Amino acid sequence: MDHVLSGVAKFRREVYPEKAESFRELADGQQPEVLFITCADSRIDPSLITQTQPGELFILRNAGNVVPPHSNDTGGMTASIEYAVAVLGISHIVVCGHTDCGAMKGALNPESLVTLPHVKEWLGHCRAAVEVVREQKGEVCAEHLDCVTSENVALQLQHLRTHPSVAAKLATGKVQLHGWLYNIGTGEVLCYDEATRSMTPLSGKSAAAGSVEA
């Protein structure tokens, strides 16, 4: 914890003064362009990966970068997605999975979650990804972790489309969906290609890179 506290002190002493004007502007509101949904894993830093500044990303994090399908039961993810799209007017939504994901390991082996009932129930939102891989491979095991992780990104994009605020903006072309997979070990970012149902290297050349058709 000491290094965290010293980091705060360094921020106030060295970082904030250099960006004071930007922070003063942000103090009056935010206008992020991108809703970035990713895993709560401590190894994932969205702003570092995307080299963005405060105010540019509206970030939602949870175990497994899950987007629960829309329902009448209000939850934090549902409310935050609705706010980002309907109020903040974001124009891009990224669902970013990552390699060596503990949540995906749990989804592959739900029996290991007996003592974690809430985690087990939450990862039920990833079950379809596991079943897709089972259908493709004939079975699922630890060696299929990357496949399940990729399929989970595609699944959560499907879930996003069930949210009324997202569906409305997709219908009018005001929002684009992007599925990404971040490789922790290599730093590479892959994007989901819905036409081929596969991950391909992200070009980074345009806002349309990695976009998924509605």
**Positions at the binding site for Zn(2+):** 39, 41, 98, 101
Q: What distance, in Å, lies between the first and last C-alpha atoms of the chain?
A: 44
Q: Residues 13, 15, 16, 18: what is their CA dihedral angle, to the nearest 10 degrees?
A: 110
Query: Which segments are annotated as binding site?
Result: 39, 41, 98, 101
**161, 214, 171, 175: which is closest to 84 by C-alpha?**
175
Report long-range pairs for 186-189 (Cβ below 8 Å, ≥24 apart).
189/49
Q: Which residues contact 153 (CB under 8 A, 6 or more apart)?
A: 65, 95, 96, 97, 179, 180, 181, 192
DSSP 127-151: HHHHHHHHHHHSS--GGGHHHHHHH
Q: Which amino acid is at 55?
A: G
Whole-number Å distance between alpha carbons of 130 and 118: 19
Q: How far, in Å, CA of 53 to CA of 146, rounded? A: 30
In the three-class reduction of DSSP (H, G, I as helix; E, B as strand; rest coil), residue 65 is classed as coil
